[in-house]
Structure 1
Amino acid sequence: MVCRTLCWRLVFVTLLGFDAHRAQECEEMTDLDLKHSLSGTSLNVRLLLYTRVNVSCAQLLSHREPFRNPRFNLSSPSTFLIHGYRPTGSPPVWLTQFVQLLLQRRDMNVIVVDWNRGATNINYWKVVDNTRKVAANLTDLIQKMEVNGANLSSIHMIGVSLGAHISGFTGANFNGRIGRITALDPAGPEFNGQPPSERLDPSDAQFVEALHTDMDALGYRDLLGHIDYYANGGADQPGCPRTIFSGSEYFKCDHQRSVFLYMSSISGSCPITAYPCDSYTLFRDGKCMDCGKFTPDGCPVLGYDAVRWRDTLVQLGQTRTYFQTNKASPFCKFGYKLDIVTWNQKTHWGYLTIKLSNRKEEAQVELNHKSLMFERFVESSVLAQFDRDVQPVKEISLKFCTGKGLRPRKKLRLLRIRLTPLQNHLRPLCRYDLLLEENKDVTFRPIPCEDSNV
């Protein structure tokens, strides 16, 4: 009798332990390969829930009964992370880190929308068709959330490539009442030139932002949000290969850079200022640096904290912005507006190289995107972006060249050079009465600028 009782207890404990173990199993994103892409996959949407309790162990969230999962807290904000086209079937390399950064920043529900079955297909047009179906699936879930008390304003949808348009279709189903949509290099093929009803547009959420990094290939070219960021002009990204001989990186590096730029913004350790401007040329020429004209808080920043400027941006309608980055993290550059007044009798054309030093480290930039015109007593201005912040600046080196090696060397006589920092609220640096000989470095100590309009 005792043996029988003990045996039943052992069976009961074993079963209980098995169920407890199953409840703790971690879900992972669907992992497919090229053979699935070649044969094609049918759409199957899985929702993977992460919270601060299970940062590294996803729990499956049921579409039909999401509230049966005790870790899904409707009183917390919810962020949907939606990937795009997966031609090789592998999970995104950035997924785990993206989830961790979001949960480090804020206590929330992070819902990874796994539609790899449906996104893995050599037939891109079939995948595009599936975006509407994914949006319908998410709409059903969010409707259940709203009925049970969730605030739509607390929902943030982050969509990568095709995921951006999925976010837009979902938001449109709620007449733009969803709080925020972030589009990371929204897909261009099959969406360029389409009317707002067939793609993401500013009416799909209370605040829509779009980051463009590959607009000349896989990304969307025109404005899509209340604010559109064009990193390094929106096309070729620094550090990405320029020839097809680099393999798969040639196709995905520019497109994927949007994800890494946005991820860097979540930590906030190296903020990137986005300058409203009509073109990348005007931005590089230093014509769009006056952030005081934009909002009382200055120019907006890229990424997660841009919501601080939401009301102003929504009121303005659609704002185009530009910035430059380094080729790897930390991506933020440190900008100066460079103003030069010369007193040569004749007008000269040429390029400048500037080096800043604090005698321990230095940063250098070559201003070679176009030949600058130096006309007597006429101020020439250009944007100078350095890869690091060298403070305090104790020495500046300057080199002038015309790019015409066979001609006699020119001399550029400077009446004034002025470097105005665009970050950190530092005072402008000046130097007066300098002579630059072509292709020779001139090093000098900057001094505080005089109160003068010369």
Structure 2
Amino acid sequence: MLKVYILMSLMCLVRADGDESCATFTRLSFHSAVVGTGLDVRLMLHTKRHPACAQIINSTAFGDFNVTKRTTFVIHGFRPTGSAPVWMGDLVEGLLSVEDMNVVVVDWNRGATTVIYPHASGKTRKVAMVLKEFIDQMLAKGASLGNIYMIGVSLGAHVSGFVGEMYAGQLGRITGLDPAGPLFNEKPPEDRLDPSDAQFVDVIHSDTDALGYKEPLGNIDFYPNGGLDQPGCPKTIFGGMQYFKCDHQRSVYLFLASLREDCAVIAYPCNSYRDYRNGKCINCGTAQTEPCPLVGYYADRWKDYLRGKGHPTTKAFFDTAEQKPFCIYHYFVDIISWNKNVRRGSITIKLRDKDGNITESKIDHEPATFEKYHQVSLLARFNQDLSEVAEVSLMFSTGSVVGPKYKLRVIRMKLRSLAYPDRPQLCRYDLVLMENVETIFRPIPCPRLQL
């Protein structure tokens, strides 16, 4: 058995078409981070034929690189411990699963590995120069700038921007995954990623209050959960290293989620996260309105709309679940009340299907105001999609722990899906919600004509 194991291990290190060993990402120790590393940029080619076996390429040795195919460069950022990015393999595999392309991992771990962040950020332009040298040779062999896509993470986002600037914004696309904020905040466009660096620039901001860049940097800028604390990430320092990097890395995992067939992450153009949460911007995606932009790999489907409408930049907001693949399913809960006095409070809604699956949404980010004969439209967010809702429960709460308990009298409740607007809308009439008491009922299809 030992001989078999050794043989299998050796086979994993050899490319299928020859004796050349598979290249691996540079792995350094924390000692290297303490003493610092000089810059050394390695370009590692992954193809559909050899997705897990990288080949070292450079401006004089192209290997299996095919200039007729799309080329996606993946550029990491600051590496304070010297380790390889844990997400790199999944990202390469995901990209090759959706398109037959050249995926080039830009390994500049020697240079990015240091405990002194300014030393790493100071090398970003040099990394960009190495990439320009390679791209120049790509072009000489018949490649086109419009067929080049750069995905830059943290400092890698600004590296992408510097490359794009060198080619006067003619690169096909740049995706910035939580571009680094420290030492780049408030810098002029030529010193950071900006919308003019490619034909289309999309950015996901997931840690704007710490390691990421807060202000818009692209043609469309996505702010998951407002761009601040991400669900499922540690809230205190007792979470260890995850406390420092989880929010920052979430942008990468949201991009990875977009490569799955079962998770289309939809965002909503809006001026602010508060307006989005209050349901003021959930009007895209219908026949009469603009399409809703998709987050991640397919975000470029929205670029033609941006050009047609003349929007130079757009902010878009969305919420996520705590765990992979992070998808959230949005519904509007429309409530018309008939209390004599105004009631202020929150609503918790649960949905159950015929198989007993239950999903819940607590709409409590700010109190809703219920006035007599006035419709309130609340944005509910569910982690699970139930295609056929058999039962609904509502609970009203003022948030008060002392004092009298109130009732919310409801003339009509209507539930409508935003993710699937063609689904039948569900209604219920004449409900009395006792405060902090769950009221369960079976909904009925709403009539076509509504009040």
TM-score, normalization by structure 1 = 0.93
1:106 to 75, 99, 102: 99
2:30 is matched with which residue?
34
For 2:16 and 2:410, the matched residues in 1 are separated by: 77
Letter in 2 for 1:224: L
2:325 is matched with which residue?
330
Matched, 1:226 2:222: no
For 1:347 and 1:385, the matched residues in 2 are separated by: 25
Q: Please say if residues 289 and 337 of structure 1, whose CA atoms lie closer than 8 Å, have aligned partners that are also in contact.
A: no
Q: Please say if residues 66 and 72 of structure 1, whose CA atoms lie closer than 8 Å, have aligned partners that are also in contact.
A: no
Larger gyration radius, structure 1 or structure 2: 1
Distance 1:284 1:160, change over 3 A: same
Q: CA deviation at 1:19?
A: 12
% identity of equivalent residues: 48
Q: CA deviation at 1:359?
A: 3.1
1:271 is matched with which residue?
264
Question: After TM superposition, which residue ranges in structure 1, 4 or more long, deviate above 6 angstroms?
Answer: 18-22
1:152-172 residue CA offsets vs partner (Å, 9 max, x unmatched)? 111110000000000000000
For 1:348 and 1:404, the matched residues in 2 are separated by: 13
1:8-66 residue CA offsets vs partner (Å, 9 max, x unmatched)? xxxxxxxxxx9999842011111001111110111000000110121111110023x03
1:365-400 residue CA offsets vs partner (Å, 9 max, x unmatched)? 111111111111121122100000012001100001
1:61 is matched with which residue?
57
Distance 1:380 1:60, change over 3 A: same
Q: Please say if residues 254 and 325 of structure 2, whose CA atoms lie closer than 8 Å, have aligned partners that are also in contact.
A: no
Letter in 1 for 2:328: K
2:316 is matched with which residue?
321
1:428 is matched with which residue?
425
**Secondary structure of 1:394's match?**
strand
Letter in 1 for 2:21: E
1:119 is matched with which residue?
112
Matched, 1:214 2:214: no
Letter in 1 for 2:142: G
Matched, 1:353 2:341: no
Matched, 1:172 2:165: yes
Q: Unaligned stretches of 5+ in structure 2?
A: 1-13
2:397 is matched with which residue?
401
Distance 1:294 1:183, change over 3 A: farther
For 2:82 and 2:176, the matched residues in 1 are separated by: 21
**Secondary structure of 1:434's match?**
strand
Give the paired residue count. 434
Q: Unaligned stretches of 5+ in structure 1?
A: 1-17
TM-score, normalization by structure 2 = 0.93
Q: CA deviation at 1:313?
A: 2.3
For 1:153 and 1:390, the matched residues in 2 are separated by: 41
For 1:326 and 1:35, the matched residues in 2 are separated by: 37
Letter in 1 for 2:326: F
1:12 is matched with which residue?
none
CA RMSD of aligned residues (A): 1.7
Q: Please say if residues 407 and 433 of structure 2, whose CA atoms lie closer than 8 Å, have aligned partners that are also in contact.
A: yes
For 1:377 and 1:21, the matched residues in 2 are separated by: 73
